Amino acid sequence: MTRSQSRRLEDIARENHPFEGCALLLGSVNEDVVEVTDIIPAENRERSTVTFQIDPKTVYEAYQRADQEGKEVVGVFHSHPAPPRPSPIDIQYMQVNQIVWLILSTTTNSFEAYQLHNETIRPVKILRKNTDT
| Residue-wise pLDDT tens digits, 12-61 | 999 999 999 999 999 999 988 999 999 999 999 999 999 999 999 999 99
Residue 131 lies in a domain: no
Domain membership of residue 117 (yes or no) is yes
Please say if the pLDDT value at position 130 is more than 80: no
Question: What is residue 5's three-state secondary structure?
Answer: helix
Catalytic residue among 20, 31, 35, 46: 20
Model pLDDT, residue 31? 85
Query: Considering the domain boundaries, does residue 133 fall inside one?
Result: no
The answer to the question of residue 55 being in a domain is yes
Contact (Cβ atoms closer than 8 angstroms) between residue 76 and residue 9: no
- Tell whether 42 is covered by a domain: yes
Structural domain for 8, as ranges: 3-124
Q: What does the pLDDT read at residue 131?
A: 65
112 catalytic residue (yes or no): no
